[in-house]
Amino acid sequence: MDYKRYVAQHLNVTGVSEEEIAEAIAIPPDTSMGDFALPCFRFAKVLRKSPVMIAEELKAAYPTDEVISEVSAVNGYLNFKVNKKGLADDVLTRISREGKDYGKSSIGNGKTICIDYSSVNIAKPFHIGHLSTTVLGGALYRIFNYLGYRTVGINHLGDYGTQFGKLISAYTRWGDKQLVEEGGIRALNELYVRFHREAEENPALDDEARAYFKKIEEGDKDCNELFEWFKELTLKDVQKIYDLLDIHFDSYAGESFYSDKMQPIVDELRDRGLLVESQGAQIVDLEAYGMSPCIILKSDGSSLYATRDMAAATYRKKTYDFDKCLYVVAYQQNLHFKQFFKVLELMGKEWAKDLVHVAYGMVSLEEGAMSTRKGNVVFLEDVIKKCIEKAYRIIDEKNPSLENKEEVAKKVGVGAVIFGALYNNKIKDITFSYDKVLNFDGETSVYVQYTCARAASVLARAESVPAEYTVPVPCAQEFELLKALGDFPDVVKSAAEKYEPSYVARYCVDVAQKFNKFYFDCKILQAEKEVRDYRLALTAATLTTLENALGLLGIGVPEKM
Ligand code: ARG
C-alpha cells in the first residue's frame, strides 16, 4: 500500500495533480496528530484561499474508510491517521514478499544516469579527500540502480598534464624499477615530491619535464610505456580500496582519452563565434553570466581541464545517451562546472541542462590539513586499515569468543568509514574522527549493524519465523517501527532525487532506534504464541529493511557481533 498515493487519490485540489499531492504528503516529526500530513500552504496561491481554510475544506470532503481512519485539519495542515492494523498487515506482507528487493522500483526503467565519481589522479595519493566522492558516487550508483535506472559509473582518470612529464623525469633520474613496482602509488608519489624539491634548486628540471610531457603527447613509445605502467600501478593500488568499499566502474576513460576529441569542440566554438583571444589564450567570455572566462586553449595551444571535460560530456551523451550526467566532485570545483556547463549551453547543446554537479564538502582528519606537494598526505588506505584495526580491538574486548572476528571487524571498520562520510548532508565539511565513527551507541553504522545482529540473534533463537500469523492492532512501539519500515521505498526515491545518500544513512539510524525501543519495551520470544509470531515477523522485516538500506551504502551486515 502506498499511503501517500492512496490519500492523494481521495483528495481533490483544483489545478493540482494527484502526483503533486502525493509528493507533498510527508511524515510529520510529531506523529501524535497524524501519521501523514499534507501542508496546504503550497496550494494557497493557486486556490486563492488561506491554508487553514483549504485544510478545513479538504477535511470535510475526505471519505474516511478502512485504510484512513481519521482526518483532521490543524493550522493549515491536513493530518491523516491510518488504520494501524491495516498498515501493519500491509508492511509485513510486502517486506516478506519482496525480501532483498524491498525498496526497489521501476521508475528509472529506460533511463540512463552517468555518474562520474572517484576519478583518481594517476600516480597521486588516493587520500582522505577522495573518500566522499568515492562513497557518495558508489551509493548513488547503487541507489539509481535500485530504482531501475541504467547506471554508468565513470572513473574520469586524471591522467593528463605536465605532472606526468615530471614523473618520467624523476623516474628516469632516480627511479628503481623494483622499488616502484613494489611501492606503487607511494613510491611514485615520493618521486614526484623529490622532483619538486630538486626543481627548486635546479629549474632546468622543469624544462626537462615539459619536454617529456611533449613526448608523451607526440606518442613517443618509451615515454608512453612508462606512463601506461604508472597508470597500471596506480589502478592496482586503488583497486584494493575499491574492493574494500565495494565500488565498481563501467568505464575508466580518463582525461587523456579525450586528447583527440577536443578539436571538434574547439572548431565548433570558433564557428559559433564564441571563442575570443585574450592574452594569447582562447577563451569563452562569461562576463554576462557573472563568471570569469572559461579558458579553452592556452597560449601555447594546449588544452585545459575544462576543454577535456567538454569533450567528455559530449562523448558521454553520444555514447550513453544519458538522461542525467552527474559529477560527484568537491565544491571547490563549483566554478569549473558552472563554466563548462554554461559554455555547452551557449553552444546550443540542449542536454547541457542534464549535467549536474553533485558537490560535497571537505573531509579533514582530526590531525589537520595536508598537501600532496610536500608529501604529508593521509592515505585513504591507512584510514580504512586503522578503522578495521580499531574495530577489531573493540569487538575483541566486547565479545572475545566471537567467531570470525576478522571478518566482522572488516565489515564494521569499512562500514564506519563509509557511514562517517555519508551521514551528514553532503555539502557539509566534516572532520573525521575514529572514535566518533566507531561509537557503538552513536549515530553510526556499527550501531545499526549491532541492531541487525540483535535482530538476527532473536530470529536464530526462535529457529523459524512462522509463515502465518495474525496481525493485531499494533502497540505504539510496533506502530512507529512499522511506519518507518513502510517508508523505505520513499526514502530511496528522495535520496535519488536530491542526490543525498545521507537520507538512507539517517533512515538506518532511525529504524534501528525504533527497533531497539520495540526490543526493550516489548517481549518477543517470551510473548504468548500469537503475539510472538507476529513480533518475530516484525523483527525479520526490520532486518531485511536494514540490510537492504545498508547495502545501498555499500555496508555489509555481520550475522553475529
Ligand atoms: N581528477 C579530478 C580531481 O581530482 C576530479 C575529476 C572530476 N571529474 C571531472 N569530470 N572533472 O580533482
Q: Please, are residues 312 and 258 in contact by the beta-carbon 8 Å criterion? A: yes
Residue 161's pLDDT band, with cuts at 50, 70 and 90, is confident
Ligand 1 atom at shortest distance from the alpha carbon of 333: 12
**Predicted local confidence at residue 376, as pLDDT:** 62
Shared domain for 117 and 216, answered yes or no, is yes
Residue 360 CA to ligand 1 centre (angstroms): 13
67 and 157 share a domain?
A: no
Query: Span 468-482, mean pLDDT?
Result: 94
Cell numbers standing for residue 499: 542526490
Confidence tier at 367 by pLDDT (50, 70, 90): low
Residue 479 confidence (pLDDT) above 60: yes
Are both 126 and 194 inside the same structural domain?
yes
Choice from 126, 156, 356 to test ligand 1 binding pocket (greatest atom count within 8 A of CB): 156
* Other Cβ atoms within 10 Å of 287 Cβ, number: 8
What percentage of the chain carries pLDDT values higher than 70? 98
Mutate to test the pocket of ligand 1, among 117, 118, 119, 332 (most ligand atoms within 8 A of CB): 119
Question: For residue 309, which atom of ligand 1 is closest to its CA?
Answer: 10
Cite the beta strand spans of 402-527 per DSSP E: 430-432
What CATH number does residue 37 fall under?
A: 3.30.1360.70
One domain, residues 26 and 76: yes
Ligand 1 centroid to Cα of residue 119, in Å, is: 5
Spatial separation of the C-alpha atoms in residues 350 and 348, rounded to whole Å: 6
Average pLDDT of the residues in 492-510: 98
Q: Quick one: cell of 410?
A: 572488516
Q: How far is the CA of 329 from the centre of ligand 1 (A)?
A: 7
Mutate to test the pocket of ligand 1, among 157, 303, 333, 335 (most ligand atoms within 8 A of CB): 333
Atom of ligand 1 nearest to the CA of 305: 11
DSSP, collapsed to helix, strand or coil, labels residue 123 as: coil
Q: What is the mean pLDDT of the chain?
A: 94
CA of 156 to the centre of ligand 1 (A): 6
On whether residue 180 sits in a domain, the answer given is yes
Residues 12-47 have pLDDT tens digits of 998 899 999 998 998 888 888 899 999 999 999 989
In which band, very low, low, confident or very high, does the pLDDT at 349 lie, cut at 50, 70 and 90?
very high
Q: What pLDDT is recorded for position 366?
A: 76
209 assigned to some structural domain: yes
Tell me, yes or no, whether 320 and 239 share the same domain: yes
Q: What are phi and psi of 370, to 5 degrees?
A: -150, 165
Question: In this structure, are 119 and 11 located in the same domain?
Answer: no
Residues 116, 166: one domain? yes
From the CA of 328, how far away is ligand 1's center (Å)?
9
Cα 284 to middle of ligand 1, angstroms: 21
Q: How far apart are CA 561 and CA 559, in angstroms?
A: 7
352 occurs within a structural domain = yes
d(CA 149, CA 141): 9
The cell numbers describing 253, all together, are: 576513460
The minimum-distance atom of ligand 1 relative to the CA of 120 is: 1
Residue 246 has pLDDT above 90, yes or no: yes
Query: What confidence category does residue 340 fall into, taking pLDDT thresholds of 50, 70 and 90?
Result: very high
In the block, cell 551521514 appears at: 423
Please report whether residue 133 resides in a domain: yes
In angstroms, what is the span from residue 120 Cα to ligand 1's centroid?
7
Supply the residue whose CA is at minimum distance from atom 1 of ligand 1.
158
| Closest C-alpha to ligand 1, atom 11 | 309
Evaluate whether residue 53 is within a structural domain: yes
Domain presence at residue 347: yes
Is 82 within 8 Å of 121 (Cβ atoms)? no
**What amino acid occupies position 299?**
S
Beta strands 324-330 and 36-39: pairing type? unpaired
Residues 227 and 338 grouped into a single domain = yes
Q: What is the separation of C-alpha 62 from the centre of its chain, rounded to a whole number of angstroms?
A: 39
Q: Which helix (H) or strand (E) holds 330?
A: strand 324-330
Per-residue pLDDT band at 129 (split at 50, 70, 90): confident
Last residue of a domain, one of 82, 98, 129: 82
What is the mean pLDDT of the segment spanning 194-221?
A: 93
CA 371 to ligand 1 centroid distance, Å: 17
pLDDT at 29: 80
Distance 370 CA to ligand 1 centre (A): 19
Return all residues near 283 (Cβ < 8 A) that are at least 6 apart. 275, 276, 277, 293, 294, 295, 296
CA-based diameter of the chain, in Å?
Answer: 85
Q: Please name the residue that has the C-alpha cell 552513536.
A: 442
Helices (H), 151-202: 163-174, 177-201
Q: Are 215 and 359 members of one domain? A: yes
Strand order across the beta sheet in which 281-284 lies: 275-278, 281-284, 294-297
Q: CB–CB of 194/171 below 8 Å?
A: no
**Which of 31, 60, 82 is the C-terminal boundary of a domain?**
82
Are residues 178 and 52 part of one domain?
Answer: no
Query: Cell triple for residue 387?
Result: 578503522
> Domain containing 195: what range?
112-251+314-365
Angle, CA of 404, 409 and 412, to the nearest 5°: 130
Q: 3-state DSSP call for residue 225?
A: helix
Q: How far is the CA of 130 from the centre of ligand 1 (A)?
A: 10
pLDDT score, position 370: 47
Does residue 129 belong to any structural domain of this protein? Answer: yes
User: Please, are residues 122 and 234 in contact by the beta-carbon 8 Å criterion?
Assistant: yes
CA angle 506, 510, 513 (to 5 degrees): 140
Residues 6+ apart with CB under 8 A from 15: 46, 47
130 CA: nearest ligand 1 atom: 4
Angle at 259 between CA 256 and CA 261, to 5 degrees: 125
Which of 365, 387, 406 terminates a domain? The answer is 365
Q: What nine digits make up the cell of 309?
A: 571535460
Q: How far apart are CA 366 and CA 511, in angstroms?
A: 30
* Ligand 1 centroid from CA 63, angstroms: 54
User: Which of 5, 144, 79, 206 is closest to 495 using CA atoms?
Assistant: 144
Q: Which three cell numbers stand for residue 306?
A: 575544462
- With residue 282 as reference, give the H or E element that holds it: strand 281-284
On whether the CB atoms of residues 34 and 81 are closer than 8 A, the answer is yes
Res. 369: pLDDT tops 50: no
Q: Kindly tell me the burial class for residue 38, based on how many C-beta atoms sit within 10 Å of its own C-beta (0-12, 13-18, 19 or more).
A: buried
Domain count, the chain: 2
CATH number of the domain where residue 160 is located: 3.40.50.620
Distance CA 158, CA 205 (A): 22
Whether the predicted pLDDT of 372 surpasses 70: no
Rounded Cα gap, residues 446 and 558, in angstroms: 10
Q: Are 77 and 150 contained in the same domain?
A: no
pLDDT band of residue 364 (cuts 50, 70, 90) is: confident
Atom of ligand 1 nearest to the CA of 312: 10
Distances from the Cα of 134 to the Cα of 49, 269, 429, 452, 561, angstroms: 48, 33, 16, 25, 27
The residue whose C-alpha atom lies closest to atom 6 belonging to ligand 1 is 119
Ligand 1 interacting residues, C-beta cut-off 6 A: 116, 119, 121, 156, 158, 309, 312, 327, 329
CA distances from 125 to 363, 378, 420, 487 (A): 15, 8, 21, 40
Beta strands in 176-322 (DSSP E): 275-278, 281-284, 294-297
The answer to whether residues 130 and 62 belong to one domain is no
Give the span between the Cα atoms of 275 and 411, in whole angstroms. 52
> Which ligand 1 atom sits nearest the alpha carbon of residue 329?
7
Classify residue 130: in a domain, yes or no.
yes
